[in-house]
């Protein structure tokens, strides 16, 4: 206890220097956590957006469908499949798509698109595109051949709400089919590239044009928990061995790739922060020892053991960390909570939307990461303390106090 008291008083000998290192620890912890939360928020928001707008949690197709996306790869008796799946308590929404790859053409331009024929009443169970309508409506009336397209595609095609576009695609007999559609709604999601290449029509309009009434190529499921997708997909696969049933992780492995990439970047940033902290602490403690050479010599001369001297330096370093780390954690927790609720609007940077990142980032942090970061910082401080402590140990009292 007495040693602790001495250590505490020692670190406040030079309040400015200790204050600066304390500030460095606080800023280091805060910056490390906030950067982690920021990246984490970006990734999670992107994943959520992708799942909720385009991918779903589980997808059901004919085997090999995703390789070529042929119109003819229809799911046999899709209503029976849906009826059996709807019984699963984890499935909270089902959307069936008639899908065709084709070309959208206006009077001036053409662009390659994925045409999703949907049931507008069922679609919101799984996907949220209806929430992104910026002009017009989301199939509010029963007019035939209505189409909802992204603002980005409208811009490419140089068309507006109410304009007509022609969709060209293959029918189930591999013949070219086409239909004129009127734009009744425009949407803008957080994924500009998807907005350019994805459009929605009513399923029956598309089925009529491809010559296969009731044909469904894709069934999408939303679950009560996206993390259960793999397990649910595996279970459903057993019940439907003739179909290919995949979780979102299997359908879109790039999500995991981006996740891994971001984690690597976070680790590098954390590594740099921790390394800088170690250097700052090391420098401070070496300075402190240099200034106290004579005193340390005196302590050893009067009978303070080497272990105690070593412990004193380590404790002083840890005290700086133990003071700074909780404050840094607290500030990080508060700013992460605050910015999660307010969001950080990066729309002015016009960055990331091309790749599906939301313009508003909501930093998120798993609570279990706070103690991990705290422990990492304490370990860093401990490592930083060893060299100065060892240096102090090597002092010989007679040399340290010189002429007494």
Partner 1 sequence: MKVIETEHLTRTYQETKVPVRALNDVTMSINQGDFAAIIGPSGSGKSTLLNMLGGLDRPNVGSVHVNGSDLANLSDSELISFRLHNIGFVFQSYNLIPVFTARENVEFIMRLQGLSEKECRQRSEELLSTVGLGDRMDNRPSELSGGQQQRVAVARALASKPRYILADEPTANLDSVSTGQLMGLMAEMNRKENMTFIFATHDQRVIDRALRVITLVDGHIASDVIQDVMKKENG
Instruction: Report the interface residues with partner 1, using CB under 8 A.
Output: 2, 5-6, 9-10, 12-13, 294-295, 298-306, 308, 397-398, 401, 403-404
Closest approach, Cβ 297 to partner 1, in A, equals 8
Q: Which is nearer to partner 1, 129 or 299 (CB)?
A: 299
CB of 398 to partner 1, least distance (A): 5
Closest separation in Å from C-beta 290 to partner 1: 16
Pick the closer one to partner 1 by CB: 9 or 144: 9
* Beta carbon nearer to partner 1, 155 or 294: 294
What is the nearest approach in angstroms of partner 1 to the Cβ of residue 322? Answer: 19
Q: In this complex, which beta carbon is closest to partner 1, that of residue 216 or of residue 389?
A: 389
To the nearest whole angstrom, how small is the minimum distance from the Cβ of residue 390 to partner 1?
15
CB of 15 to partner 1, least distance (A): 12
3-state secondary structure string across the chain: CHHHHHHHHHHCCCHHHHHHHHHHHHHHHHHHHHHHHHHHHHHHHHHHHHHHHHHCCEEEECCCHHHHCCCCCCCCCHHHHHHHHCCCCCEEEEEEEEEEEEEEECCCCEEEEEEEEECCCCHHHCCCHHHHEEEECCCCCCCCCEEEEEHHHHHHHCCCCCCEEEEEEECCCCCEEEEEEEEEEEECCCCHHHHHHEEEEEHHHHHHHHCCCCCCCEEEEEECCHHHHHHHHHHHHHHCCCCEEEEHHHHCHHHHHHHHHHHHHHHHHHHHHHHHHHHHHHHHHHHHHHHCHHHHHHHHHHCCCHHHHHHHHHHHHHHHHHHHHHHHHHHHHHHHHHHHHHCEECHHHCCCHHHCCCCEECCCCCCCHHHHHHHHHHHHHHHHHHHHHHHHHHCCHHHHHCCC
CB of 366: closest distance to partner 1 in angstroms? 41
Q: Closer CB to partner 1, residue 368 or residue 402?
A: 402
Closer of 12 and 355 to partner 1 (Cβ)? 12
To partner 1, the closest distance from the beta carbon of 45 in angstroms equals 50
Which residue, 295 or 366, is less far from partner 1 as judged by CB? 295
CA separation for the pair 308, 192 (Å, rounded): 63
Question: Nearer Cβ to partner 1, position 122 or 294?
Answer: 294
């Amino acid at each position: 206890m007495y040693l602790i008291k001495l250590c505490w008083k020692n670190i406040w000998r030079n309040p400015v220097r200790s204050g600066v290192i304390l500030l460095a620890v606080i800023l280091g912890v805060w910056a490390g956590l906030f950067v982690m939360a920021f990246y984490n928020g970006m990734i999670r928001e992107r994943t959520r957006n992708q799942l909720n707008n385009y991918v779903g949690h589980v997808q059901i197709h004919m085997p090999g469908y995703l390789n070529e996306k042929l119109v003819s790869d229809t799911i046999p008796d899709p209503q029976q499949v849906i009826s059996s799946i709807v019984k699963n308590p984890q499935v909270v929404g089902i959307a069936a798509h008639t899908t065709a790859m084709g070309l959208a053409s206006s009077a001036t331009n053409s662009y390659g698109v994925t045409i999703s024929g949907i049931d507008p009443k069922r679609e919101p169970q799984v996907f949220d595109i209806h929430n992104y309508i910026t002009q017009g409506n989301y199939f509010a009336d029963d007019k035939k051949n209505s189409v909802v397209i992204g603002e980005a595609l409208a811009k490419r095609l140089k068309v507006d709400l109410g304009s007509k576009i022609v969709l060209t695609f293959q029918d189930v007999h591999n013949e070219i089919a086409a239909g004129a559609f009127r734009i009744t709604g425009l949407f803008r999601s957080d994924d500009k590239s998807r907005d350019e290449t994805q459009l929605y029509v009513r399923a029956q309009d598309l089925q009529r044009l491809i010559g296969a009434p009731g044909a469904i190529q894709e069934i999408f499921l939303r679950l009560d928990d996206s993390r259960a997708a793999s397990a649910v997909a595996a279970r459903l696969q057993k019940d439907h061995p003739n179909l290919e049933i995949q979780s979102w992780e299997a359908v879109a492995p790039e999500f995991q790739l981006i996740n891994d990439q971001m984690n690597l970047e976070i680790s590098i940033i954390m590594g740099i922060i921790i390394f800088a902290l170690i250097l700052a602490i090391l420098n401070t403690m070496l300075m402190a020892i240099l200034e106290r050479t004579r005193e340390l010599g005196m302590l050893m001369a009067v009978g303070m053991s080497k272990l105690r001297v070593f412990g004193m330096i380590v404790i002083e370093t840890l005290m700086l960390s133990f003071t700074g780390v909780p404050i840094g954690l607290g500030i990080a927790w508060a700013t992460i909570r605050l910015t999660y609720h307010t969001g950080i609007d990066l729309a002015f940077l016009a960055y990331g939307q091309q790749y599906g990142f939301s313009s508003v980032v909501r930093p998120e942090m798993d609570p279990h990461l706070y103690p991990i970061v705290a422990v990492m910082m304490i370990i860093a401080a401990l490592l930083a303390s060893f060299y100065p402590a060892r240096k102090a140990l090597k002092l010989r009292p007679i040399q340290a106090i010189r002429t007494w």
